[in-house]
Amino acid sequence: MTAVKNFVAFLYDFVVGDDWRMSVAVILGLVATGLAVRSGLNLWWLLPLFVVAGLGISLRRVVRKNGET
């Protein structure tokens, strides 16, 4: 049981890391892209858009938190 618990802890740390918001952005991007593909739309660029937007939001939050402008 300890090995399973350690693996789940590793997996959580690997996927989520320092900012859970980036993981949510990637998951939302994957879901949106998957739904678009199922609908027959060629919207492969949605996933990089979600990742870049999530990165921008994450960076802005960290900069504001550290008191820099």
For the stretch 1-29, pLDDT in tens is 799 999 999 988 888 887 888 888 899 99
Higher-confidence residue: 17 or 30?
A: 30
> Measuring CA to CA, how many Å separate 23 from each of 1, 11, 16, 31, 39?
27, 12, 6, 12, 24
Mean pLDDT of 39-63: 91
The three-point CA angle 2-16-25 to 5° equals 150
Q: What is the pLDDT of residue 69?
A: 56
